[in-house]
Amino acid sequence: MATIQTVTVKAADPGLGFSLNLDDNGAPINQTLKVIVKVTDSQNQTFTSTVIVNDPISDKTINFVVPFGDNQYTPGETLNYSLDIYIPFDAPTPVNQPGVVIANSGKFELLSDAPSSIPDGGSLGPGQLMNSIKGNQLGIMQLDGNFCVYDQFAKGKNSRVKNTDSTYSQGNGNNCSLQVRGGRIFIHNNSTNKDVSASPANQAMPGAAMVISKGLICLQLPGNQPQQVQVRPGNV
């Protein structure tokens, strides 16, 4: 009955924001609602919040923001969340919707919203996410000028998320984008309008899309297996 549409968390106002689509065969549910939100970070700290709507809901989409704690905004930081949705609010059993969000430049975003490939001629802007082919890793065009690949999950006390591949761009940061042009991958400094790193010219695959496969940055032609490429400053 209820599905999560978006998740956004802002560092200036710590909280987990989400939208519920409450659709009863095209009509509003016209029911009360309770949502119990549990959020667990990569150090196994758990935050719980409860939202109760006492009046029948006439909107098909309803937005919430609940607190979860501060200092959780390091790029690559994961949050596991679980929503127990009771409709009406005193229902004996909930609809459970678990998921994972990833920290990205001061906010958390749904991985399902991230692309799993970037076509030749496409780009990924600063702070944007990319999913892997099988959903086991994700990439972040970080604000330090590097595109880095991370495993989606890193659990356990004092555990840290380490990147499995990186462009090692050594760029100026804060205004770099990832671009795929002519079958090559480039990290482009948007301020100077110059490339700071690229995949080798002798490994160009015109028409190939960039993908993340087995934790590595790859190019893939339609119908072919992904091929790992290394994006380095010396290749420009």
Would you list the domain boundaries of the chain? 2-111, 115-235
- Res. 6 pLDDT band, cuts 50 70 90: very low
Outline where DSSP puts E strands in 106-156: 107-110, 123-124, 129-131, 137-141, 147-151
Over the stretch 142-176, which tens digit does the pLDDT of each residue have? 878 899 887 765 444 444 556 889 998 876 666 89
List the strands of the sheet with 176-181, edge to edge. Answer: 123-124, 176-181, 184-189, 194-198
- Res. 222 pLDDT band, cuts 50 70 90: very high
Retrieve residue 74's tokens.
């390091």
Q: Which fold has domain 2-111?
A: Immunoglobulin-like (2.60.40)
CA distance 186 to 126: 13
CA distance 211 to 119: 9
- Res. 195 pLDDT band, cuts 50 70 90: very high
| Contact of 208 with 219, CB cutoff 8 Å | yes
Say what the pLDDT of residue 191 is.
Answer: 87
Share of the chain above pLDDT 70, in %: 70
Give the architecture-level CATH label for domain 115-235.
Answer: Orthogonal Prism (2.90)
